[in-house]
Structure 1
């Protein structure tokens, strides 16, 4: 099973060249393709076609790193209950005193958008970080086109959330100066 590059949605940017319409599996023109059970190899192909760098972590999950966050592509569960999860860990630390404001802001995001659903995690040292997540039940199979378009949309929405958060919280100055990245400044 492979990803047809023409099935990757184009959300702006350069228009894609349209490939001839392909319905069904090879040798069965006009018939819809049957469901597939996605796996890590399919996600790797999709990430390669999206020109995204990725690594496999020590738990065996795929991760695509960005400057201020990491997006993981995970398969959990058994057989018919298997779930595909796209989970983004936003690395920008926030103080515990900011948690109430963060919850207000992400509640607004969660009300207005479908994904990722975002929540906070408070570390033992009191720093608060955000996590975004979207999931799909895949154990009984899904249409390849649905899997591809959902995964692409989730990745792009994760990127958009980070941009939206920077704008909403007024972190633009921090982003430009490199402050707020958890590292002490040179000035002391």
Structure 2
């Protein structure tokens, strides 16, 4: 009879908490990882970390990393709304939120085939129903929509430890724009 460890039970809880798309992503990554390990990459990692990892340990580390990534994504998407709800808030057609995402005046992230809009970007007193300065900051960021979402909610030392979202809400849009223009600079 198989014995389950506490770690096994945690993994099982994680697997049960994933939706179908997340389960498929996890399976794809783990299948690829277990079948196509790059020996040179493994050797470099071992040298860097000054220790060697068994295939089982590597799989454990990969699983833990994926679990953390799924949890982080869930947290970021927890306070989001659908395009239909955005249209209601802004008093527009259902197509307008999609058009504004393409024009980079609204931020949305794909989740299970649907756009999800962070609720914090909306301000009934702001121009076009969003935080003042938000579209300019959004256009200045030159990375994926998910990375943009993460950037907006991560404390930033150049904004006195505030998140860019908080700084925008406090009217400090010039500083946020300046930081957005510098974000990712020199990483290509």
TM-score between both structures, scaled by the size of structure 1: 0.22
Higher relative CO (Cα under 8 Å, sequence separation at least 6) belongs to: 1
Instruction: Indicate the structure with greater strand content.
Output: 1
Structure with greater helix share of residues: 2
Task: Indicate the structure (1 or 2) with the bigger Cα radius of gyration.
Answer: 2
TM-score relative to the length of structure 2: 0.22
